[in-house]
Amino acid sequence: MERLSAHLSRAVQGKETQARLTVTSVIAGGHVLLEDVPGVGKTTLAEALARACGLSFSRIQFTADLMPTDILGSQVFHAASATFTFRQGPIFRQLVLADELNRAPPRTQSALLEGMAHGQVSMDGSTWPLPAPFTVVATQNPVDLNGTYPLPDSQLDRFLMRLSLGHPAPDVEARLLTTQGRPIALDTLEAVTGPEELISLRAFAAGLRMDDAVAEYIVRLARATREHGDIERGASTRAVLAVGGAARAHALWDGRDFVTPGDVRAVLVPCLAHRLMLRSNMQGPAAREEAAHLLEELARKVVAPR
């Protein structure tokens, strides 16, 4: 995990926290939504992750005219044998970058749902498994930019974490302008792990011990979001499970085989902020920032177990 994070930090400089959270999400078996303005390194982070993990990779550029079959694949008719064969689409890779996901209409966005939820694709009465481990890293532009479609709640709920990179610090940005500070070429990144090791690490993380007191702490935080006056719709049961899975993976950073309340607080905002619906009807980054503020407020109020 440390090696993966270091590789991501080499590719996207000055974003160590986001790199660690991205690795945490992947180890927890989740998908990542990177929401930010263009040009801050979202695509680079996804490509670096695929290279560092040794995963097969595809990039899908979402546009208004993209069709679901452009993602999933299609049946191809062979006249000589009068038969159809399935030609796999770009979703059949271990790490899929869904670039500018919200520039495609909801029907095309939803083509990813089954794969993200169940690791398979169904079409014309047949089902094909996706390669394991399967991860989607999606990028999203702010909804106030031209040509964007808000992601449906069901789509947002499939992302374990939502992260924002933001602009680099001034010293990092200045260093990028110099020869020594240029971003490294992605093809120089070597794999520091492989699919089999990643699958084993996911299984190990899923088996880490969580005491009843910590589990009850997560539930109390979720209930607090459901009862908060400024929140129209609080955390779902899937969201509760997401926090638990991410907290288990986060515990590995300290070499622990058990989860603490500190692990829960570390993943609370990236796991829940994009899943909450506010009564103010805010959208986009403003909604995420307000939701993050409310979650941090609840984390201070809800008493953690010792």
Model confidence band, residue 48 (pLDDT cutoffs 50, 70, 90)? very high
- Note the pLDDT of residue 226: 95
Mean pLDDT of 159-171: 87
Model confidence band, residue 203 (pLDDT cutoffs 50, 70, 90)? very high
CA 97 → CA 22, 45, 152, 241, distances in Å? 14, 10, 18, 24
- Note the pLDDT of residue 301: 94
- Note the pLDDT of residue 29: 96
- Note the pLDDT of residue 178: 74
pTM above 0.75? yes
Model confidence band, residue 253 (pLDDT cutoffs 50, 70, 90)? very high
Average pLDDT of the chain, as a whole number = 89
The alpha carbon of residue 234 and the mean position of all alpha carbons in its chain are separated, in whole angstroms, by 20
> What gap in Å lies between CA 20 and CA 22, rounded to an integer?
5
Nearest to 111 by CA among 62, 145, 148: 62
At position 214, the amino acid (one-letter code) is: V
Burial of 265 (0-12, 13-18, 19+ CB in 10 A): buried
Both tokens of 186, joined, read 């992605």
- Whether the CA torsion 294, 300, 301, 306 is positive or negative: it is positive
Q: Which residue has the higher pLDDT, 118 or 144?
A: 118
- Note the pLDDT of residue 184: 61
Mean pLDDT of 169-180: 74
Asked whether residue 180 carries a pLDDT value surpassing 60, the answer given is no
CA 4 → CA 13, 146, 204, distances in Å? 14, 35, 17
Mean pLDDT of 224-250: 95
Mean pLDDT of 36-56: 88
Asked whether residue 181 carries a pLDDT value surpassing 60, the answer given is no
* pLDDT above 90 coverage of the chain, percent: 63
- Note the pLDDT of residue 216: 97
Max intra-chain CA distance, the chain: 71
- Note the pLDDT of residue 183: 54
Asked whether residue 40 carries a pLDDT value surpassing 60, the answer given is yes
Asked whether residue 255 carries a pLDDT value surpassing 70, the answer given is yes
pLDDT per residue over 66-103, tens digit each?
999 999 998 888 878 878 888 999 999 999 999 999 88
**What are the backbone dihedrals phi and psi of residue 78, each rounded to the nearest 5 degrees, phi first?**
-105, 110
- Note the pLDDT of residue 51: 92
Where do the domains of the chain lie, and which CATH numbers do they carry? Answer: 1-64+92-190 (3.40.50.300), 208-305 (1.10.8.80)
- C-beta separation of 172 from 12 below 8 A: no
